Amino acid sequence: MTPPTATAPEPVTAPLIPPSTHRYADVIHRLEAGGSMLPDTPENLMQIIGIYKAYAVPMDFYWRDLLYIAEQVFLDPLPAFKYFPSQEYLDLPNSYAGDQSKLRIWRGGEKAHPELLAFMEKGETGKMSKLLHHLWHDRINMEFAEACMEAMLWHQGMGGRFYDYLASDAYRANADRAIKAYFRGNPLMLGLYRLFPEMFMEQVKKMSYYANLGLFWEVMAPVFFEMSDIYDEGGFKGVPDAMNFLVNGIFAVAGRPIYHHVYIKGECFEIIPKSEGFTWLYEAALPYVEAVFYRTAPFRGTKSYNAQAYQVPADQADFHYGILYADVFPVGSAGIPPTLLMQDMLHFLPPYLVDLYKTHKRGEEDQLIQLGITFQRSMYNVTSAVIQALRCALLYPLDDTDPVHLMANRKFFEAQMDRFLRPEARLPQIQTQDYR
């Protein structure tokens, strides 16, 4: 007599396509199963959510100040106070979060995050004037945000139509109107504009990228805040949940407009009008990931390219400082832009992450390095979300039963993984918890 079994055995199904033979086959199979490039471990989940929260607070400042610079400071020849956004921008409700938003998708976001406001008031040192906080560097380092913006501008066409539009006649006409309006009554600057029009045009292009990045981060900040809240409520069960939340977020806002408006003496100049149809996914998110995550700029002093002369190499392998490739270790002590972000995040680490860092390596002494590596892990997760979103948009569902479709997905994933075959890529390192 056959003994009764509690549950029937799962039917064994043969895989529809053979296993990948790629060097990162394990990662590819994980992606095909709906996972992330980052292994699904409780500690990885804790690390990435904790760092998203620490990232979101300075990011809440970055996007507000980027928009302030793009829309209000604009072509100020002496922008000494560009890192001091007006109260109007600090109170600006997020377009995608909070009860006041027209396009509410996420929680919170009525005004700048309370932790950010508290830090801006007291910093690490104590209550003193904004200028002293600024000079003492006891502040949010906007220099990081500007470095990201410059990377997007510098690398030029990283996808979408945005960069090409900056060379169009329509853009130049709009920019010309804004320049003349901004310097109305200033014969010196208008004279200079007449002499060196391209120099001014270049500055306006830069301002357009300020707006682009500001609008991109306006979306990302509440996403990260909400992920932190969900984690605190026990909502995420694993790394794939966190990644899927990002994928859903990307789709939720993929079509939101990217534009550049400038406010001069109360009048709005639409340098890049919303009607141009630039979207958050194609004109901001993808170029941002490509330029900042995969490339960034070379460390100043090591290489020199003239972007205006189109000398910036198109080959991604020429760049080592994107967060997916950067050796955080020397970066953390060399002053390369991610260091400034790491310092910003250090102020807002959730307690559970601080406790984690205390138990590894040098504890509190080298938190900056540890959080930098956590940030690297978290950005691999964000990149996984982008890859999955692209696969979703361009290819086939993961549970598709057609082997041809699955093979197309496989080829897409393998092509993505090929970008991490370079020895500088940190993908192999983040597969283990020992990398800290």
Partner 1 sequence: MAGTLLLPLLPATVPSVRVRGIAALFGALQLLVGLLCWQHPPADLQLSWLPKLGLRLDLGLDGLSLPLVLLTALITSLSILSAAADQSRPRLFFSLMLATNLGVVTGLLARNALLFLLAFELVLIPITLLVAVWGGEKRAGAAVRFLLYSAVSGLALLAAVLAFAWFNPAGPLFAFEDLRQAQFSPTAQRWILALLLLSFGLKLPVFPLHGWQPFTYGQAPTPVVMLLAGSVSKLGAYGLLRFGVGFLPDTWAAWSPWIAAAGAISAVYGALNAIVQSDIRRLMAYSSLGHMGLLVLGLSAATPLSLQGAVAQMLAHGIIVALLFACVGLIERKTGTTAIPELSGLMNPLRGLPFTMGMLLLAMMAAAGIPGLAGFPAELLVFEGSWTTFPRATLVSLIASGFTAVYAIRLFNRVGFGRLDNERADWSSTCWSERAPAMALTVLVIAAGLWPTALTGWSETESTGLALRSQPFLRRDGAQPFSLVAVTLPTASELRTS
Mode of pairing for the β-strands spanning 260-264 and 267-272:
antiparallel
Can residue 140 be called a binding residue for partner 1 (CB under 8 A)? no
Are the C-beta atoms of residues 259 and 215 closer than 8 Å to each other?
A: yes
Contact segment (CB under 8 A) with partner 1 among 26-34, 202-210, 324-332, 343-351 equals: 324-332
We find the least distance from the C-beta atom of residue 17 to partner 1, in angstroms, to be 35
CA 126 remoteness from chain centre = 30
Q: Is 369 in the site for partner 1 (CB under 8 A)?
A: yes
Under the binding rule (CB under 8 A), the answer on residue 365 touching partner 1 is: yes
Q: What is the DSSP letter of 216?
A: H
Q: Is residue 196 a contact residue for partner 1 (CB under 8 A)?
A: no
Contacts with 258 (C-beta within 8 Å, 6 or more apart), sequence order: 162, 211, 212, 215, 216, 272, 278, 279, 280, 283, 284
Out of 241, 366, 400, 424, the only residue in the binding site for partner 1 (CB under 8 A) is 366
Of 329-358, which residues contact partner 1 (CB under 8 A)?
A: 329-330, 332-333
Among 122, 137, 274, 361, binds partner 1 (CB under 8 A): 361
Nearer to partner 1, 368 or 390 (CB): 368
Give me the least distance between CB of 210 and partner 1, in Å please.
32
Q: How far is CA 217 from the centre of its chain?
A: 7
Rounded CA-CA distance 233/256 in Å is 29
Q: What does the alpha-carbon distance between residue 223 and residue 256 come to, in Å, rounded to a whole number?
A: 15
Residue 269, classed as helix, strand or coil, is strand
Q: Name the one range near partner 1 by CB under 8 A: 173-181, 283-291, 322-330, 377-385.
A: 322-330
- Nearest distance, CB of residue 362 and partner 1, angstroms: 6
- State in angstroms the smallest separation of the CB of 415 from partner 1: 29
Q: What is the residue type of 214? A: G
For the CB of residue 368, give the shortest distance to partner 1 in the complex, in Å. 6
Distance, in Å, from the CA atom of 137 to the CA atom of 83, rounded to the nearest integer, reads 12
Cα diameter, the chain:
102
Distance separating alpha carbons of residues 236 and 52, to the nearest angstrom? 14
Find the binder of partner 1 among 46, 132, 252, 368 (CB under 8 A): 368
**Residues making contact with partner 1 (CB under 8 A):** 327-330, 332-333, 361-362, 365-366, 368-369, 435
